[in-house]
A = this chain, B = another copy of it.
Amino acid sequence: MKEATIVGAGLVGSLWAVYLTKAGYNVTIFEARDDIRKADISAGKSINLALSNRGWKALETVGAAEEVRKIAIPMYGRMMHDLEGNLTFQPYGKENEAIYSTSRGDLNAILMTAAENTGKAKILYNHQCIDINLQTNELTFLNKKTGEQVHHKTDVIFGCDGAFSAVRYVGLQRTDRFNFSQNFIADGYREILLPANEDGTHKLDKNALHIWPRGRFMLIALPNEDGSYTCTLFMPHEGGENAFDKVNTREEVDAFFKSTFPDFYALMPQIADEWDNHPLSSLAIMRSYPWHHHKTVLMGDAAHATVPFYGQGMNAGFEDCTVLWELMQKHNENWEAVFEEYSATRKPDGDALQDLSLYNYLVMRDYVADPMFLLRKKIEAKFSTLYPNKWMPLYSQVTFSDIRYSVAHKQGEVQNQVMDEVMAIPGIEEKWDSQEVIDKILSLV
C-alpha cells in the first residue's frame, strides 16, 4: 500500500489529500492545531477568501466544487467608495464573470470532510512537526496534548503547512543550496467585522468587493453569508500621517474613520469598540527554491506565500494540486521526477504571482480611485470584447483563466506599454469609444 504524508490540514493540504486518495494512496495528515470544525478559527488569518477560476478547476477535479458553490457569494466587480460616499463600480470581467467570497473556515471544513470521506485519509491534530529526515522520509512530531514525540515513516511528504511552514524551516531550509527569503512589507492589516442589518440583510451591495482606496492605504470589505462583511484595513505599520501606530485610542480610531471612511463610519459607528477584536497582523512575501528535496515537496504558501492583494494565494495553492496531479500522470508517480519538474516549471509562476500581488496593492489602494485608470481599463475591456483572441486583460488572465502566472505577468507588461501609448492620444477622454482608438491598438498588438 502506498503511504503519503501531508503536513498541514489547511485548504491545500486537505484538498491534496483527496487527490492522493484518488491515486490509491493511504494518506496521513498531521495538523499542528486543533480540528477547526470543533474550534474557532485562529485569529490573524483572513476569514474569507476570493475563489476564482484556478481554485474552481482544482475543486472540480475532485468533485468538491458543487458543495463549495453553495457557500460562495459571487462578486462581479469592485465598488469604490470615495471620501464623499460616492460609489463607482468597475466590473472584474465579462458579464457573469465573478470572484467568489468564501468563508475560509467553511471551505476548509468541506475539504477536510471530503478527505475523511474517502475512507483513505486520516487527520491527526495537535501534531507539530519538529524534525524531518529528508533522506529517510521520517518525520518527528510533538504531540502538543500529551507532550510526547511521535515518529512517522512514509513514502512521500507534502509540506502544505503555510507561510511559516515547519517542513520548510526544519527540513528544506537546512539543506545545502536551498534559497529562501521572507520579506515583510511595510504595511500591516487589521480585520473588522461589519455586522448585518437587524433583519439579516447586507448593509452594502452584496455582489461586489468594496474598496475605500485612499492612496497609501485602503479598507476593503467582502460579503459573508450571514449578512455581515469581513473588512480589512491595510496601512503602513508606522511612518506618515496614516499608519497603525497613530491609531490606538478610542478617540484616534473614531477620528480616523470619521475623516477617512465617513460612509463606512456611518454604517459602523461602534468601530472603536470593535477595534481590538482582531490583532494587527503583518504581510510577507516568502520565496524559496527548490521546492523539493528527494521525496519531500512544498505546496501553496509553504512554497510561495504572497501578499493577498490579487486574491490568488489559495487559488495558486489549489493550482499547485492541478500541476502536481498532471505531473503524477506524466511521470507515473516517480516522485523525484515529478518534484523536479514541478520545482523547475512552477517556480516562475510563484514568483510572478508574488510580483503581481505587490502590484495589485497599488491598483486597489490607489489607481482605482483615478478616473484615467478606470478609463484605461474600460478601453481594454472594449477592445478585448471586440478582439478576444488579441487581448485578454491582465486581471482576467490571472483570475478567469489558467494561463500561467508567469505568462500573464509578461503579457500584462506588453499590454501596459500599448495602453501607455493609447492613453497618450490627445483627447482620449472624449474619443475613447472611437474607431481611431481601436485602430491604434490594432496597430500596436
A residues near B (Cβ < 8 Å) are: 164, 169, 173-174, 176-184, 237, 282
20 residue pairs from A and B, CB less than 8 Å apart: A164-B174, A169-B169, A169-B173, A173-B182, A176-B184, A176-B282, A177-B184, A177-B237, A177-B282, A178-B182, A178-B184, A179-B181, A179-B182, A179-B184, A180-B180, A180-B181, A180-B182, A181-B181, A181-B182, A181-B183
Q: Other than A179-B181, A179-B182, A180-B180, give 18 A-B pairs with Cβ distance below 8 A.
A: A164-B174, A169-B169, A169-B173, A173-B182, A176-B184, A176-B282, A177-B184, A177-B237, A177-B282, A178-B182, A178-B184, A179-B183, A179-B184, A180-B181, A180-B182, A181-B181, A181-B182, A181-B183
Closest-CB distance, A182 to chain B (whole angstroms): 5
Chain B residues lying within 8 Å of A177, measured Cβ to Cβ, are: 184, 237, 282
Complex-state Cα separation, A58 to B178, whole angstroms? 33
What is the count of identical protomers in the complex? 2
Complex-state Cα separation, A389 to B180, whole angstroms? 43
Chain B residues lying within 8 Å of A184, measured Cβ to Cβ, are: 176-179
Chain B residue at smallest Cβ distance from A237: B177
Closest-CB distance, A295 to chain B (whole angstroms): 22
Closest-CB distance, A216 to chain B (whole angstroms): 18
Chain B residue at smallest Cβ distance from A181: B181
8 nearest A-B residue pairs (beta carbon): A181-B181, A177-B184, A179-B183, A177-B282, A176-B282, A180-B182, A179-B184, A179-B182
Closest-CB distance, A173 to chain B (whole angstroms): 8
Chain B residues lying within 8 Å of A178, measured Cβ to Cβ, are: 182, 184
Chain B residues lying within 8 Å of A180, measured Cβ to Cβ, are: 180-182
Chain B residues lying within 8 Å of A176, measured Cβ to Cβ, are: 184, 282
Chain B residue at smallest Cβ distance from A281: B176
